[in-house]
Amino acid sequence: MLTVEEALARVLARVPATATERVPLSAAYGRVLAERLVAGVDLPPWAGSAMDGFAVRSADVPGDLDVNETVAAGKVPTRAVVPGTASRIMTGAPVPDGADAVVMVEDTEMVGDRVRVRVGATSGMHIRPVGSEIAAGTPLLDVGAVLGFGAVGVLAALGRPSVLVRVRPRIGLLSTGDEVVEPGFPLGPGQIWSSNLHALAGLVHDAGAEPVYLGNVADDPVATAAAFRAALQSDLVVSTGGVSVGDFDHVKAVMDDLGGGEGAGVEFWRVAMKPGKPLAYGFIAGRPVFGLPGNPVSCMVNFLQFVRPVIRTMLGDPRPFLPVISATLDRPWSRRPGRAELVRVRLTAGADGGVPTATVVGVQGSAHLAAMAEAHGLLLVGAETTTVSGDVHVQVYDPRWGASSVAGYRWG
């Protein structure tokens, strides 16, 4: 059986890259950049005032000065500041020729129609010089950068209307099982509502891809084959259930058939991890295909370990993995050794910004869906470990774990 690392290396060895597309800046947030960006212009593009006040010659102040005109933001000065004069100026307005400083309005008073500047000024005071923030030619972002709101703001400030990004891959989501019914339909005897497709759609969104709901297919080999064939329209296929050794588990056989025969589709189907041992992986018709287990927790944990990094790599993200943080386990946790384990834990922020505390949540069974919603991350337990305590590592899947209900400012 493969270890988690071996399985991950196998799936990441063959990842098709998605195409690129140009999107308007308004749609660029969160996307993965597919071009290297260099500042095309200076920011700011002209010298502007950083204050409401008066543009002056620093050599003239303090002193009383004639007022030339008022320069508002969006207007162009019509007169130069010559000795003995000043121009009233607003924040964000271009500094007139001749002026080398701006004094704040608070440091002035009007005496008749002249301005009395009460303070001295150094050359350049309260002026934003051309290119002082970003000079033309400065490298901004590399291919693979994930565009946050700061980066989008910078691109807009530099006048860029659009960017080249990776197309979001379409992820076909298919569930299997005679017992599985979509929420909204009544349950017959022995039936359950499908949770997997909905949880997976959230995981796909979170990974930066587009979910394609393909619904549920009965535990029938012909129907399963037809559903998989249709699913191969997507860039990557994820199915749930039917991948174990039960009498009605057809996914592996179907993957082999689609791959061209016995053993041709499924590259591996078991990983030494808990939860979620049965995971069928294959590369069929140029697409990664994952047969995830039906148990809801196994399904989600497997997605996070294998499918998410593949999607991020398809997108060209050079950092495709979830963050792993150090934490302190609040009380020792014991188990049977044998397989690496990913244990659902809640995180609590450490006092005074110290190491966070991890608490194992409720029931840990692979069918126990609620634990996944309650937890923020997965405690990483090595195959041979019997008791985990003290300093531990947690793979964080809920970035809101440290969010607070109180403002809690701690100024440094």
Q: Which is nearer to ligand AMP, 134 or 272 (CB)?
A: 272
Query: What is the pattern of x (binds Mg ion, CB under 5 A) and - over residues 124-153?
Result: ------------------------------
Q: Which is nearer to Mg ion, 248 or 268 (CB)?
A: 248
Under the binding rule (CB under 5 A), the answer on residue 293 touching Mg ion is no
Please identify, among the stretches 28-36, 73-81, 287-295, 297-305, the one whose residues bind Mg ion according to the rule CB under 5 A: 287-295
Tokens representing residue 376 in the block: 């923020």
d(CA 36, CA 141): 6
Which positions lie near ligand AMP, rule CB under 6 A? 175, 177, 179-180, 192, 194-197, 240-244, 246, 293-296
Under the binding rule (CB under 5 A), the answer on residue 242 touching Mg ion is yes
Residue 192 Cβ, how far from ligand AMP at the closest point, in Å? 5
Residue 366 Cβ, how far from ligand AMP at the closest point, in Å? 8
d(CA 181, CA 328): 41
Residue 309 Cβ, how far from ligand AMP at the closest point, in Å? 22
Instruction: Burial-class residue 380 by CB neighbours within 10 Å (0-12, 13-18, 19+).
Output: middle
Please identify, among the stretches 137-145, 230-238, 289-297, 390-398, the one whose residues bind Mg ion according to the rule CB under 5 A: 289-297
> Could you say which of Mg ion, ligand AMP, none residue 194 binds, taking C-beta under 5 to 8 angstroms by partner kind?
ligand AMP
Closest by CA position to 100, among listed 87, 109, 117: 87
* DSSP letter for each residue of 161-191: -EEEEEPPPEEEEEEE-TTEE-TTSPP-TT-
The strand ranges marked E within 272-402 are 273-274, 278-284, 287-292, 324-334, 340-348, 357-360, 377-381, 387-396
Q: Which of 94, 96, 241, 288 binds Mg ion (CB under 5 A)?
A: 241
Q: Which is nearer to ligand AMP, 244 or 359 (CB)?
A: 244
Q: Which is nearer to ligand AMP, 195 or 348 (CB)?
A: 195
Count helices and strands in the chain by DSSP H and E runs: 8, 26
Q: Which residues of 204-225 are buried (b: 16+ CB within 10 A; e: fewer)?
A: beebbbebbebebbbbeeeebb
Query: What is the pattern of x (binds Mg ion, CB under 5 A) and - over residues 152-181?
Result: -------------------------x----
Give the binding-site size for Mg ion (rule: CB under 5 A): 4
> Could you say which of Mg ion, ligand AMP, none residue 324 binds, taking C-beta under 5 to 8 angstroms by partner kind?
none
Contacts of 122 (CB under 8 A, 6+ apart): 58, 101
| 155: helix, strand or coil | helix
Residue 221 Cβ, how far from ligand AMP at the closest point, in Å? 14
Q: Which is nearer to ligand AMP, 63 or 221 (CB)?
A: 221
> Could you say which of ligand AMP, Mg ion, none residue 195 binds, taking C-beta under 5 to 8 angstroms by partner kind?
ligand AMP
Closest by CA position to 66, among listed 115, 119, 107, 103: 115
Q: Angle at CA 58, nearest 5°, toward 56 and 59? A: 115
> Could you say which of Mg ion, ligand AMP, none residue 179 binds, taking C-beta under 5 to 8 angstroms by partner kind?
ligand AMP
Shortest-Cβ-distance residue relative to ligand AMP: 294
d(CA 90, CA 72): 5
Residue 271 Cβ, how far from ligand AMP at the closest point, in Å? 15
Helix (H) or strand (E) holding 245: none
Q: Which is nearer to Mg ion, 243 or 315 (CB)?
A: 243
| 105: helix, strand or coil | helix
Residue 267 Cβ, how far from Mg ion at the closest point, in Å? 21
Closest by CA position to 377, among listed 343, 406, 337, 336: 343
Q: Which is nearer to ligand AMP, 269 or 397 (CB)?
A: 269
Binding site for Mg ion (CB under 5 A): 177, 241-242, 294
